[in-house]
Amino acid sequence: MTSSYTSNLGIEKPATGDQSGTWGDTVNVNMDIIDRAIDGVGTISLSGTTHTLTTSDGALSDGMYRVLVLGGSPSGTNTITISPNDQEKLYFVVNSSGESAIFTQGSGSNVTVANGDTKIIYADGAGSGAAVSDFTANLAMSSVNITGGVISGITDLAVADGGTGASDAATARTNLGLETIATQNSNSVSITGGSVTGITDITVADGGTGASTASGARTNLGVAIGSDVQAYDADTAKTDVAQTFTISQRGTITTDNDLSFDLSVTNNFKCTPTGTGTLTFTNHTAGQSGNILLINTGGHAISLAATTKGDASLATTISTAGTYWLSYYDDGTNAYVTTSAAFA
């Protein structure tokens, strides 16, 4: 007589009197099939865009696993056909394939499991018109705890149920009775119109002045008049308008005897070298000009730095014992220098 097979798992049922002395092999295979069906986890390697998930009568096959872990390297959305189409199946699916997977069994409905998602699916085994359903799509639960992740694709939760009844901020504020109040969050609060009273002075560290008076605010901000900043004076000179000075103006003279002049210190210098050296300018500042009184009574040899520009005889002239008036103009890179003859 011929063996028959169970309709969903293909477990072999030997006919009466069959497989004398060999039925143990059949039993072992059947136990393995039952093990897969109850608690088996199978890794399904996908490739291309199609895959057939087969259950073979009397032989271990991938369609017998309870849990399907999708992997491999599919080239795009992969359609997985559950075969044969007359077997009812319940699968727990974990999609780690990198692509979406569509489960189908016949011309009925299909279920798509996106990459990274998990679903419980049911294939009804209805033959050519078989359908696959998603058990997780319409679960009725009285208490749900969700930790982390994202909730999407749901109907707006009503205010009466603890939601806002909206899917955009403006409508949510209206539904919650906040009317025209601007969007508020801990990092950005906008208040238009009205006044804020009765609060503790906002500290400087939080963007305030830490004071409730103008003088206190200026002190806290380091701009106290008379100590931190100069008081207003109508006669204060401005650098962006034409000025008429009623008394003489002069720059500070800095004594610097090493022949290296720092333009960030001043613009007028007095130099009495005590030995040979190089006429050098540091901290070049475009547009700065000034004067140097060079008292080279020792006739020390003076050379020019690469960024100190003068005529061919400049170094020779100022290396001769004497007192000279040097004028310079700086373009931000080089200092251009001229000199007087030696003063008698």
Amino acid at 222: G
Number of structural domains found in the chain: 4
**17 within some domain:** yes
Question: What is the extent of the structural domain holding 179?
Answer: 143-184
Say if 191 falls within a structural domain: no
Residues 160 and 176 in one domain: yes
CA angle 272, 276, 280 (to 5 degrees): 75
Q: Are residues 136 and 147 in the same domain?
A: no
pLDDT at position 194 is 73
Asked whether residue 31 falls in the same domain as residue 73, the answer is yes
Asked whether residue 5 falls in the same domain as residue 129, the answer is yes
The per-residue pLDDT string of the chain (344 residues; one tens digit each, 9 = 90 and over) reads 577 777 676 677 777 767 666 766 677 888 888 888 888 899 999 999 999 999 988 788 899 899 999 999 999 999 999 999 999 999 999 999 999 999 999 999 999 999 999 999 999 999 999 999 999 888 777 777 788 777 777 888 888 888 888 888 778 878 877 755 555 555 666 667 777 777 888 898 888 888 888 888 888 888 888 788 777 776 677 778 887 778 877 788 999 999 999 999 999 999 999 999 999 999 999 999 999 999 999 999 999 999 999 999 999 999 999 999 999 999 999 999 999 999 97
**Which positions ≥6 away from 5 have C-beta within 8 Å?**
11, 12, 13, 57, 58
What pLDDT is stored for residue 137 in this prediction?
86
Same-domain check for residues 268 and 227: no
Please measure the distance between the N-terminal and C-terminal CA atoms of the chain and give it in whole angstroms.
139
Q: List helix spans (H) across the chain.
A: 23-39, 169-175, 214-220, 314-319
Same structural domain for residues 22 and 88?
yes
pLDDT at site 189: 64
For residues 127 and 11, membership in a common domain is answered with: yes
Residues 240 and 296 in one domain: no
CB contact at 8 A, 332 and 285:
yes
Residue 229 belongs to some domain of the structure:
yes
What is the pLDDT at residue 259? 96
Task: Indicate the residue type of 69.
Answer: V
For residue 276, is it within any domain? yes
Residues for the chain: how many in total? 344
Same-domain pairing of 135 and 21: yes
Q: Rounded CA gap, 80 and 112, in Å?
A: 10
Given this model, what pLDDT does residue 132 score?
Answer: 97
- Does residue 48 belong to any structural domain of this protein? yes
Partners of 262 in beta bridges: 282
Tokens for 296? 């080279």
Q: Are residues 161 and 115 in the same domain?
A: no
Tell me, yes or no, whether 38 and 59 share the same domain.
yes
CB 330 within 8 A of CB 285: yes
Classify strands 268-271 and 322-330 as parallel, antiparallel or unpaired.
unpaired
Tell me, yes or no, whether 212 and 273 share the same domain.
no
Report the alpha-carbon distance of residue 303 to residue 269 in Å, rounded: 18
Task: Please check whether residue 328 lies inside any domain of the structure.
Answer: yes
Find the DSSP H helices in 8-135: 23-39
